[in-house]
Structure formats: structure tokens, C-alpha cells
């Protein structure tokens, strides 16, 4: 029993160790796939639940809850007992109360025995009981003998066609055990593992090895005999009860089943987790659409599947003015708009028969639709219908809004072999659609292709110009509107390269931004300006002016820009009041917390900030308080049409000047080319004037000469007076 207990304990330890091992490996898998994250709630619950069930099953087995029993009925009429005895033994059988066998050995000669045979069936020897599910016997047996160490022998007689004969009862296998009942407390527990096949029977019937093993599959009789009678006298066997005990499932098999369940569960959870992670990796969490990675995989598979390449198209969406929705209603409503937009488009696509598609959110407000089985002559009609569907109102929780979009379209062909190449073409086409007025579509064609090639060439020219120092500076004077003193100059970038000269900064600067070259240009302009200031510091101390340097909106998201600016100021010993930085108003349309933080850092250095082209970026006047700007430049487009029949421009200028005054901001009128423009701006309280009416951009040498010439201001005043007199006449 001790050995059995130890085996069970060891099996249980194996189960625990295996469970921990499996759980540990599963956790390692989860940590790797989730980036050192813990299991999801469902996995934790399953593991805990399975562990509890495993422990409960094991304890239930140990407590005998799954045990089964079979009492061998002693007192039965239909199954008469058989008295068994040898030649020199007299015996009697009494079944009035249990079974009592009394024997008397008369002569000690040969092997003597006495006992009883208890039939387990209705007499048919070949139709016994299958006792393989039982593993022990519990018996209440009293054995009285005239000698010490006398043993009883219990045999389960099994019938098998291989070795048994119906006529010969002795041919039934003897699965036996011999023991001394008087050495055990009642009831006596006999494990079936202790049963053995009698050797004499094996030899007598010439049983082979395979059939000489214990077999309880077809037991017809249970025999209880004396195991040898060595002394003359009386022998008594009193049998009160015999019960067979077993288990619905053995402990070993239970452990196997538990381990199998663990293995299946782990495989299921790992597969389930893998599928979830796979789905997460290709799905946009906000809209439920494919993400960029997901649609790229899907598209590349389609490209490699060798179907009709001329029937696959990429539609690239970019929502128009999405930033305004976020600024006006908040990001929560912005997210709702993205969800509503995606559902709106997908519902329309699902309603179209005979097409296959995948719709994805790439990032922010950018979406991609890959579609095939669409004929080339259907593309324009389909794109127009798509924009029409998008243009319908989208109902949000508390608002009704529109999600208009610019759409670029590219077709797969022999020159395009990957998703990225196809997306790049659709993106370029979308750029043209947005440039042409938004809320429209553009198909990638030769014109777009040539423009891409042109922009790449210009980008390469810009890169070489930076390396070869082919840029130089010009300066646009800015004058005080009242006394016409030169108070500042706008630093203008010029290129000596003929190609760049032909297109001008208004073209190559956006290209520099597109190809991430603008940061180098900004730093070059700042450093070149600082060099000139330091070179002519003596003149500038006598006639101080402020240098207004334009920087790109990209710098608002450049974490190194402010530190680099500080380094250049220290290197050239430039005071913060010697220059200002100019940003276009449109750069603030997409301003976020990082942008505002960068502006605050610049302002904390003592450097003033000017908002250029004001009036074109749709910045709400109330938002000016959020930006640390000190000056507004009124865009030239307002001043050009100042005296047209439409009074909208003049009204807008008056509003800008009024708001600037209330916020204590200085103002500059850009692009002043006529006296009437100058006169209007001055009368409305504009602080400074910039434009061809007073000066075109000039070189550094001309600038220094003008600063040294005391007659420059006088000439400007005379020019204004002459125009004024003629205007009055």
C-alpha cells in the first residue's frame, strides 16, 4: 500500500510539473507575441479554470468519488456453491449465514485442500464476468486452522478459447493469490496487482507466454481454498462478504486524459491567440477595416496570383479638411467621422455585385481601396459614384457632417509589381486631385508620371545645391508705414542653379518639404543670415534692422530644431532681437500640442514669431491666443483685389487689422505695389509695408548701401508725397 501511495504521489507531482511547464511555455509564447504583455483575460480564466478542474478531478479520484464496486452475493439459490476437497479431506458446507466451510484432514499424504467455489454466472463457464475495471478485493474471511502460517488461496477462474475447455473445469485459468488471513485486520484488502497465474496450471496445459498472464476478462468462478493442509485436524473457513472495488477510470489513465486536455487546450489557446494577433496585425482598431499591413499582404497576393493585371485598381482617399472637424468638435467626433465614413463606403461597396475589393484605413484620415473585376471604361463612372456617396451626410452621435475626400486612382500594369508602387502612384494622383480643388478624383496618367519625374529631378537639384553651396540670399525691405524707415527685411532664398532659378522658391520649397530636404535648407538660411549679421555688425548697430527668416512647418515637429537654433545663436553671437522667424498661417492649420510646444520654446528664447500669409489658412481669430506670435502679415491676395467692386477683401483687411490691434499684434501689408494700396493700409492702421511700390528684393551689398545712405528715407517720402498730390488731383 505504501508503494502504491508513493506511485500515486509521484504521478501527481508529474502532473503538477507538467502543468507548470506547459503553462510556463504558453506564457512565454504569449509574452513573445504580445511584446512582454500578460495573457488576455480569457486565456487567464481558461488556464485557471482548467487547473482547478484538473486538481478537482485528481482529488475526486483519490477520495474515491469515481470508485465502483461489485458485491459478490454469498447467499444465493440460483448460483449454488461448489464444495471442493481432496481425497483425504472430509468437508461440509453451510450457507445459512454467509458461507461456512468445515474441513477435517484425516491423512497427511500428497497435496490436500478444502474450500468452496462461488459461481459468478448462471453456470455457463464461457460466459463469465469482465472484472478488468476492478483493481482490488475486500473480504471478511475468518480462517481457523490447527497450524501456524496457514494460508488461504483465492483464485479467479477465467475462461478463454485459447486454453479453456467447457468439459474440463480445471482448464479455466487460475488467477490466484495466497495469503494468511490471520495476519490482516478485517476487512482484508487484496490488490489485483498481487494476482499470479499458477505455475502448475501453466505447465499442465502447456500455456504459452502470452496466455500465462493474469486475465480477468471472462471470470466464471471465484474459488477460496486452503493453500495446503499440513497438520491433521479441523479447518474452518468462514466467509461473511466479498466485494470487488474498482474505478471508472484508473489514476494513470486520468492523468493521461488530464494531460491530453491540457495539451489540446494549450494548442487551442495558442492557435486562438495567434489568430487574434494575426487579425489585430492586419486590422485597424478604430474602424475594423484592414490596416496598411493587411491590405498590402492581400494586394501583393493578388498581384502574384497572375490574374488579369489590367483589372486591379488602387483608390487612395484623403479626407478634405479633416483637421477642422477635430478642431471644431474634438477628436472624439473626428473618430466617429472616420468610423462613419468607413461604414458609409463599405456599405456602398457591398451593394455592388461582381466585384472583389478590400478597403483599408492606412493612417489618420487616409484610406485605400483595392478593387478588381472592374473594367477600365467603368473607372471614371465608379469613382464619380464613390465621391457622390461620400458627399452625402454622415450622422454622428450629436452632429451631422460631411466627409468629402480627394481621390487618387492607379492601375496595376507591367511597370508596377508591388503594393507600395501601386500606392505611390495612387498617392501622387490624389495629390493632384487635392491640388486641383479637393473633393474630386484624379487617375494616374502620363502627366502625373512626368510631374513625379520632374519633382524627383528638382529634389536632386536641391540636394546638390545644398552640398555645393549654390544657394544665396536676397532681402526684401519692410518699412514703417508712417515714417517709411526700413525696420526689417525678409530673408529670401535664391539659387544659382539655372533649373532652380527657372522654377523659383514657390515651387522648389514644397518639393524640398516633400523629399525631407527642407530642414537642411532652413538651417542653411538661418546660418547664412547669422554670418552676414556678424560680418556687418558695426553697420547694423548704427542702423539696426530685424531679419525675418522663413522656416517650414516641418520644424514644428522637429525635436532638434530649437537646440540647433540655440547653437547657431551662440556660435555667431546673435541676439534674439536681431531676427524673427516667419511661419505661414497654413502651417498652423495642422498644429498640434508638439507644434505649440515648439513655438513656445522659440518664444521663450526671446525670438519673435510672425504669421505669414495671414487670412489664407482659415485660422480662427480666437485661436491666435494659443500661438505666441507677435506679428501678422496680411496675404498679398487680399491687397491685390483691394479696390475691386467686391468689398470682401477690404472688409477682411479691416477685420484683420482690428483683431490684431485688440491682441496687441503688429501688422505687415504684403505685396504693396500701388499707392492706393499703401494709402488704404496706412489709413486703416497697418504698422508696416512690404512690396514693390517701395523696393524689390535686393542683395546684401545693396542692403548695406541703403542702410548707410541717409537720403533713402527722404526719397521714399518724396515718392509718397508725389503720388499723394497726383491722387488728390
What are 215-238's pLDDT values in tens digits?
998 998 899 998 888 888 889 999
The mean of the pLDDT values for the chain is 84
* pLDDT of 620 above 70: no
pLDDT given at position 475: 97
Q: Are 286 and 338 in contact (CB under 8 A)?
A: yes
pLDDT given at position 58: 81
SS3 annotation, 227-245? CCCCCCEEEEEEEEEEEEE
Q: What is the mean pLDDT of residues 606-635?
A: 80
| Residue with cell string 501453466 | 202
* Pairing label, strands 173-179, 152-158: antiparallel
pLDDT given at position 166: 86
Higher pLDDT, 591 or 285: 285
Q: What is the mean pLDDT of residues 228-257?
A: 86
Q: What is the largest CA-CA distance in the chain?
A: 167
pLDDT given at position 5: 36
182 falls in which pLDDT band (50, 70, 90)?
A: confident
Q: Is the bond preceding 270 in cis, omega lying within 30 degrees of 0?
A: no
**DSSP assignment string, 499-531:** HHHHH-HHHHHHHHHHTT-HHHHHHHHHHHHHH
Out of 438-442, 671-675, 680-684, pick the least confident: 438-442
Residue among 77, 79, 233, 71 nearest 144 (CA): 233
**DSSP assignment string, 69-117:** EEEE-SS-SSS--EEEE-TTEEEEEE-SSSEEEEEEE----S---EEEE
DSSP assignment, residue 698?
A: B
What are 400-444's pLDDT values in tens digits?
777 788 999 998 888 888 899 899 899 989 988 888 878 889 988
pLDDT given at position 389: 82
Q: What is the mean pLDDT of residues 104-133?
A: 86
* pLDDT of 721 above 70: yes
Q: Are 634 and 653 in contact (CB under 8 A)?
A: yes
Higher pLDDT, 39 or 475: 475
Helix (H/G/I), strand (E/B), else coil: 645 = coil
What are 9-22's pLDDT values in tens digits?
343 333 433 443 34
Alpha-carbon span 301 to 312, nearest angstrom: 12
577 falls in which pLDDT band (50, 70, 90)?
A: very high
Query: What percent of the chain stands above pLDDT 70?
Result: 90
Q: What is the mean pLDDT of residues 579-588?
A: 84
Specify the domain boundaries for CATH 3.20.20.450 within the chain.
Answer: 455-728
DSSP assignment, residue 193?
A: G
* pLDDT of 696 above 90: yes
Query: What percent of the chain stands above pLDDT 90?
Result: 29
* pLDDT of 264 above 60: yes
Q: What is the architecture, at CATH level 2, of domain 455-728?
A: Alpha-Beta Barrel (3.20)
| Cell representation of residue 641 | 483685389
Residue among 553, 631, 634 nearest 592 (CA): 553
What are 505-558's pLDDT values in tens digits?
888 888 888 888 999 999 999 999 999 999 998 889 889 999 999 999 889 889
Chain center to CA of 201: 72
Alpha-carbon span 110 to 278, nearest angstrom: 82
What are 137-163's pLDDT values in tens digits?
899 999 888 888 888 999 999 999 889
What are 335-381's pLDDT values in tens digits?
888 888 888 888 888 888 878 889 999 988 899 999 877 888 888 88
End-to-end Cα separation, the chain, in angstroms: 130
* pLDDT of 2 above 80: no
* pLDDT of 592 above 90: no
| Cell representation of residue 164 | 479453456
Specify the domain boundaries for CATH 3.30.70.270 within the chain.
Answer: 292-444
* pLDDT of 40 above 70: no
Alpha-carbon span 640 to 137, nearest angstrom: 113
Strand order from edge to edge, sheet including 82-85: 82-85, 114-119, 219-226, 152-158, 173-179, 196-197
pLDDT given at position 45: 84
Out of 89-93, 559-563, 570-574, pick the least confident: 89-93
485 falls in which pLDDT band (50, 70, 90)?
A: very high
Specify the domain boundaries for CATH 2.60.120.430 within the chain.
Answer: 71-247
> How far is CA 631 from each of CA 124, 127, 306, 594, 660, rounded to the nearest angstrom?
115, 110, 60, 21, 8
Q: What is the mean pLDDT of residues 105-120?
A: 88
Q: What is the architecture, at CATH level 2, of domain 292-444?
A: 2-Layer Sandwich (3.30)
Superfamily of 71-247 according to CATH: Galactose-binding lectin (2.60.120.430)
Helices 675-683 and 711-728, packing angle to 10 deg: 90
CB neighbourhood size of 56 (10 A): 11
Alpha-carbon span 60 to 67, nearest angstrom: 9
Amino acid at each position: 500500500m505504501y508503494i502504491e501511495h508513493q506511485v500515486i504521489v509521484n504521478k501527481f507531482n508529474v502532473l503538477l510539473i507538467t502543468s507548470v511547464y506547459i503553462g510556463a511555455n504558453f506564457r512565454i509564447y504569449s509574452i513573445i507575441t504580445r511584446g512582454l504583455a500578460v495573457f488576455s483575460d480569457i486565456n487567464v480564466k481558461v488556464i485557471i479554470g482548467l487547473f482547478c478542474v484538473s486538481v478537482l478531478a485528481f482529488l475526486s479520484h483519490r477520495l474515491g468519488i469515481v470508485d465502483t464496486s461489485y458485491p459478490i452475493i454469498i447467499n444465493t439459490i440460483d448460483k449454488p456453491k461448489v464444495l471442493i476437497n481432496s481425497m483425504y479431506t472430509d468437508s461440509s458446507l453451510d450457507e445459512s449465514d454467509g458461507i461456512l466451510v468445515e474441513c477435517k484432514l484425516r491423512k497427511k499424504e500428497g497435496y490436500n485442500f478444502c474450500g468452496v467455489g462461488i459461481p459468478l454466472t448462471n453456470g455457463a463457464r464461457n460466459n463469465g464476468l469482465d472484472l478488468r475495471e476492478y483493481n482490488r478485493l475486500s473480504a471478511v474471511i475468518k480462517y481457523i486452522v490447527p497450524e501456524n502460517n496457514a494460508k488461504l488461496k483465492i483464485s479467479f477462474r477465467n475462461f478463454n478459447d485459447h486454453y479453456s475447455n467447457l468439459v474440463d473445469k480445471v482448464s479455466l485459468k487460475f488467477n490466484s493469490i495466497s495469503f494468511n488471513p490471520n495476519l490482516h485486520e478485517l476487512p482484508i484488502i487484496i490488490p489485483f496487482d498481487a494476482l499470479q497465474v499458477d505455475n502448475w496450471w501453466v505447465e499442465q496445459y502447456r500455456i504459452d507466454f502470452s496466455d500465462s498472464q493474469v486475465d480477468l476478462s471472462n471470470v466464471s468462478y471465484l474459488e477460496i481454498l486452503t493453500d495446503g493442509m499440513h497438520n491433521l485436524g479441523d479447518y474452518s473457513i468462514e466467509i461473511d462478504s466479498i466485494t470487488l472495488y474498482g474505478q471508472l477510470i484508473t489514476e494513470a489513465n486520468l492523468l493521461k486524459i488530464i494531460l491530453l486536455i491540457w495539451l489540446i487546450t494549450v494548442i487551442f489557446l495558442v492557435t486562438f491567440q495567434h489568430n487574434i494577433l494575426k487579425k489585430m496585425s492586419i486590422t485597424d482598431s478604430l474602424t475594423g477595416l484592414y490596416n496598411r499591413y493587411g491590405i498590402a499582404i492581400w494586394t501583393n497576393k493578388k498581384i502574384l496570383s497572375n490574374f488579369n493585371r489590367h483589372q486591379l485598381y488602387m483608390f487612395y482617399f484623403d479626407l478634405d479638411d479633416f483637421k477642422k472637424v477635430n478642431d471644431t468638435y474634438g477628436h472624439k467626433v473626428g473618430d466617429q467621422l472616420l468610423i462613419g465614413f468607413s461604414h458609409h463606403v463599405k456599405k456602398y461597396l457591398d451593394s455592388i455585385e461582381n466585384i472583389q475589393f478590400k478597403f483599408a484605413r492606412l493612417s489618420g484620415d487616409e484610406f485605400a481601396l483595392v478593387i478588381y473585376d472592374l473594367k477600365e471604361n467603368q473607372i471614371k463612372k465608379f469613382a464619380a459614384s464613390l465621391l457622390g456617396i461620400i458627399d452625402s451626410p454622415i450622422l454622428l452621435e450629436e452632429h451631422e457632417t460631411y466627409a468629402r475626400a480627394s481621390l487618387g486612382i492607379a492601375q496595376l500594369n507591367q511597370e508596377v509589381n508591388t503594393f507600395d508602387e501601386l500606392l505611390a502612384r495612387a498617392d501622387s494622383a490624389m495629390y493632384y486631385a487635392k491640388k486641383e480643388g479637393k473633393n474630386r478624383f484624379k487617375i494616374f496618367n502620363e502627366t502625373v508620371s512626368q510631374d513625379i519625374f520632374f519633382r524627383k529631378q528638382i529634389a536632386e537639384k536641391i540636394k546638390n545645391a545644398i552640398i555645393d553651396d549654390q544657394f544665396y540670399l536676397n532681402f526684401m525691405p519692410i518699412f514703417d508705414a508712417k515714417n517709411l524707415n526700413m525696420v526689417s527685411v525678409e530673408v529670401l532664398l535664391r539659387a544659382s542653379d539655372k533649373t532652380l532659378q527657372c522654377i523659383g522658391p514657390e515651387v522648389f520649397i514644397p518639393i524640398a518639404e516633400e523629399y525631407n530636404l527642407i530642414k537642411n535648407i532652413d538651417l542653411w538660411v538661418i546660418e547664412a543670415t547669422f554670418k552676414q549679421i556678424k560680418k556687418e555688425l558695426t553697420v547694423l548697430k548704427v542702423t539696426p534692422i530685424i531679419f525675418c527668416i522663413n522656416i517650414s512647418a516641418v520644424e514644428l515637429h522637429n525635436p532638434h530644431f530649437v537646440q540647433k537654433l540655440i547653437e547657431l545663436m551662440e556660435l555667431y553671437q546673435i541676439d534674439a532681437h536681431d531676427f524673427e522667424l516667419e511661419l505661414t498661417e497654413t502651417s498652423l492649420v495642422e498644429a498640434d500640442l508638439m507644434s505649440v510646444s515648439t513655438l513656445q520654446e522659440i518664444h521663450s528664447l526671446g525670438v519673435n514669431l510672425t504669421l505669414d500669409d495671414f487670412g489664407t489658412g482659415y485660422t480662427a481669430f480666437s485661436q491666435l491666443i494659443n500661438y505666441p506670435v507677435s506679428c501678422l502679415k496680411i496675404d498679398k491676395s487680399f491687397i491685390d483685389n483691394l479696390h475691386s467692386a467686391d468689398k470682401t477683401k477690404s472688409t477682411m483687411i479691416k477685420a484683420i487689422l482690428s483683431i490684431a490691434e485688440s491682441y496687441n499684434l503688429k501688422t505687415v501689408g504684403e505685396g504693396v505695389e500701388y499707392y492706393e494700396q499703401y494709402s488704404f493700409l496706412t489709413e486703416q492702421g497697418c504698422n508696416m509695408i512690404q512690396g514693390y511700390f517701395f523696393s524689390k528684393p535686393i542683395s546684401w551689398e545693396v542692403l548695406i548701401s541703403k542702410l548707410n545712405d541717409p537720403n533713402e528715407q527722404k526719397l521714399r517720402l518724396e515718392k509718397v508725397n508725389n503720388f499723394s498730390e497726383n491722387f488728390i488731383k
